[in-house]
Amino acid sequence: VAKKRVTSADVARLSGVSQATVSYVMNDDPRQSISPETKQRVLEVAAALGYEPSAAARTLRSGTSRLVLVVLQFEQVDPNIALTLNALGRELTSHGYTLVWHVGRLGALREPHPSATLTPAVVLTFGDTLPQTERFLARFGVPIVSLGTGEGRGRVGALQVGYLFERGLRQLVFVAPERPDLQGFALSHGEGVRAACAERGLEPPRFLTLPMAREGAREALKGFLEVHPRPLGLCCYNDEVAFAALAGLADHRVRVPEDVAVIGCDDIPLAQLAQPPLTTVAFAGEASRALVLENILAAARDGAVQPAADVPPAVVVRGSA
Amino acid sequence: VAKKRVTSADVARLSGVSQATVSYVMNDDPRQSISPETKQRVLEVAAALGYEPSAAARTLRSGTSRLVLVVLQFEQVDPNIALTLNALGRELTSHGYTLVWHVGRLGALREPHPSATLTPAVVLTFGDTLPQTERFLARFGVPIVSLGTGEGRGRVGALQVGYLFERGLRQLVFVAPERPDLQGFALSHGEGVRAACAERGLEPPRFLTLPMAREGAREALKGFLEVHPRPLGLCCYNDEVAFAALAGLADHRVRVPEDVAVIGCDDIPLAQLAQPPLTTVAFAGEASRALVLENILAAARDGAVQPAADVPPAVVVRGSA
DNA sequence: CTGTTAGCGCGTTCAG
DNA sequence: CTGAACGCGCTAACAG
């Protein structure tokens, strides 16, 4: 059922002009002057035929596509990241670019980077690009724009410690998730917590890894609570982990925040619906989005690689700490 | 800084063969017999040069890319959907396809469908494709594979009602989210609830729309609870809405499940961590994934449009109902 | 000014 | 295993 594509040649023939003219009209080429009548006619024919220029041919010729690829090396997509990317996608659309996502870990496997199949104008990452991938992209002149870095996570640790310290907590814990796709970020977050504790003369934070299954979280917490005296302050890697902590604590009838204070990170939409409402750290994404957009467009134009946008996190105080 | 791309012609020249041979070797063309030595040599040269075939040229020539585009018309990505798509993506990769996501509503706007820029081999949807989009894709011979339909949501309603009915609840409520990107699905879900109630001779379900902000949820619930006698059974559109309901109920000191029973849908990872653990409806995704994969590959090969895969939902009993 | 001709970009594929 | 045409749109050079 091979429907033959409508090509610019078809449009040219039916409107009685040359292919070149069609191209000029379709792209509003400023270096050419086309009479209004011709322009009109070409556009009408194109619309009537449902002509849509072939992205492949266009990319082949111009050497670059109008695609922006964001690589999310996670198993799931953080709601806030989804929201931000959505907004970014809309803005890019209005600039003629299309934002697509590639979700999932890549690396160890022998497969080519998705950008090989996509030839995007720009690749967006979260500062978690492997060196080999960077080289790969550099070879093809695909600029990388970073949306965030491990550094951000480090600062989160400091904020969490600072807040809990002010609340009078002296015994702190870094709670990490089991998810392997997050270990890199978790490491730098944990490091931030450790450094902040040292800075305040607190003893080094304990490290606790919590499964996301309720029973698992309960068990892991049980052993931990038996060994460590309260009050305790839990610096959670993110809000999901904080939910697991909250659930486990509830199962052990531990009072939050009196006996154990819990602070998360990311401020996911469900955070405010936790029991008690989750105190957490939020990234003020809005402020920097314009900057990110600028970076992307600049990179798409002249391949300039900009530094990562700076997103300052801040504590959102609710009931859990 | 224009690095010149390595082309198949370069590889051909350096390995002393024709471009055609390079192509045959790279694609392992079964209709050609290439001597092992030649093959070896070509592959070595290609590797040494870092040759990567141009996706654009390939697409242009063969008329189809190795891309699979999934269109998610939501603002956020349901964790289970993310997990499923991730697994699917890995499987597709091993078949030489690349799965990319386009997230966000499209439609009313004048922008072209992302597939115009991507020329994917297949488009994946959730049965929420607009007729105009379908026509658009049909014109270019891009097959659509559906990963789910509104029907599925209808069946969810029946399951929720059935379960609550067995638990002795007679006064049921359908709780919808405010998110505009979900109204279509919510409608068919609500319809399922209504039908199931009618079938059992219950009075028609009330409809309640709940904001995702805690205060909003509390307020909305307050008015509702004043008017309606308990016990009440809440059929929630999804687990997020159920969390909002749970939070609001907790704020009003309503006992769950004794006074108000709450059942969600989707079984998101956080569901088991709710207070109390959330009873919900889960889709047994695993079973059907192989089928979906088959559908996609078949569609990519010969453009066959298969019926939507059948995913049977089931109740997961926990503490909230 | 208005529009045309012709070649390019790169991998695929058919007839030798 | 090769030569050469081909897919489709872009654009420099050129003609009316």
Which helix (H) or strand (E) segment holds residue B150: the answer is: helix B150-166
Q: Whose structure tokens read 């902040």?
A: A196
Mean pLDDT on B274-298: 87
Residue A306: both structure tokens together: 């900009």
Higher pLDDT residue, A27 or B273? B273
- Written as six digits, the tokens of B198 are 């009618």
Rounded-to-integer distance, Cα B274 and Cα B318, Å: 10
Cβ contact (<8 Å) for A104 and B111?
A: no
For the beta carbon of residue A306, count every other beta carbon within 10 angstroms: 16
Q: How far is CA A303 from CA A58, A117, A223, in A?
A: 19, 19, 53
pLDDT digit string (tens) for chain A, length 321 residues = 345 778 999 899 999 999 999 999 998 888 888 888 899 899 999 989 888 889 999 999 988 899 999 999 988 898 889 999 999 999 999 898 999 999 988 765 667 788 888 889 999 998 888 888 888 888 888 999 988 776 778 899 999 999 999 999 999 999 999 998 889 889 999 999 999 999 999 999 999 999 999 999 999 999 999 999 989 999 999 999 999 999 999 999 999 999 999 999 999 999 999 999 999 999 876 667 888 899 999 999 887 777 766 678 899 999 999
CA of A99 to C1' of D6 (A): 31
Two tokens at A10?
């078809």
Handedness of CA A96, A98, A99, A105 (dihedral sign): negative
Q: Chain B residues with CB inside 8 Å of A269's CB?
A: 76, 212, 240
Through-space distance between the first and last CA atoms of chain A, rounded to whole angstroms: 63
Q: Under DSSP, is residue A101 helix (H, G, I), strand (E, B) or coil?
A: strand
A33 CA – C3 C1', rounded, Å: 9
Q: What's the pTM?
A: 0.89
- Any chain B CB within 8 A of the CB of A111? yes
Helix extents (H) in A174-258: 183-199, 214-227, 239-251
Instruction: Check residue B289 and give its pLDDT.
Output: 80
Instruction: State pLDDT tens for residues B136-163.
Output: 888 888 899 988 776 778 899 999 999 9
Least Cα distance to A235 among A319, A150, A182, A156 occurs for A156
Is-contact A267 A294, C-beta < 8 A?
no
- For strand D, is any atom closer than 7 Å to the CB of B34? yes
At B122-135, the pLDDT tens digits run 999 988 888 888 88
A1 CA, C13 C1': Å apart: 21
Is some CB atom of chain A closer than 8 A to the CB atom of B2?
Answer: yes
Residues at the strand C interface (Cβ < 7 Å): A 16-21, 24, 32-35, 37-38, 57, 60-61, 63; B 5, 7-9, 19-20, 22-24, 26-27, 29, 51, 53-54, 57-58, 60-62
Sheet containing A172-177, strands listed edge to edge, beginning at the edge strand earlier in sequence: A206-210, A172-177, A232-236, A260-263
Q: What distance in Å separates residue B55's CA from the closest CA in chain A?
A: 5
Q: How confident is the model at residue B110 (pLDDT cuts 50, 70, 90)?
A: low
Strand stretches in A206-306, DSSP E:
206-210, 232-236, 260-263, 280-283
Write down the pLDDT at residue B1: 40
- Euclidean distance between CA atoms A253 and B301, whole angstroms: 58
Which helix (H) or strand (E) segment holds residue A212: the answer is: none
- How many Å from the CA of A129 to C1' of D8? 35
Of A213 and B3, more confident:
A213
DSSP bridge partners of A282: A314
Q: Is A118 on the interface with B (CB under 8 A)?
A: yes
Please answer whether residues B161 and B235 qualify as being in contact, where contact means their C-beta atoms are separated by less than 8 angstroms. yes
- Count H helices and E strands in chain A, helices first: 12, 10
Distance CA B262, CA A320 (A): 24
Contact of A229 with chain B, judged by CB distance below 8 Å, is answered with no
Task: Order across the sheet with B260-263: list the strands.
Answer: B206-210, B172-177, B232-236, B260-263
Phi-psi region of A298 (alpha: psi -120 to 50; beta: other; left: phi over 0): alpha
Q: Is the pLDDT of residue B109 over 90?
A: no
Chain A partners within 8 Å of B111 (Cβ): 93
Residues of A in contact with B243 (CB under 8 A): 270, 273
Cα(A230)–Cα(A226) distance, integer angstroms: 10
Phi, psi of B52 (to 5 degrees): -135, 115
Q: Which residues contact B66 (CB under 8 A, 6 or more apart)?
A: A117, B55, B96, B97, B98, B121
Assign B175 a pLDDT band (cuts: 50, 70, 90).
Answer: very high
Q: Which residue is nearest to nucleotide D10 (CA to C1')?
A: A61
* Bond into B177 cis (ω within 30): no
Contacts of A67 in chain B (CB under 8 A): 117-118
Compute the radius of gyration of chain A from its Cα atoms: 26
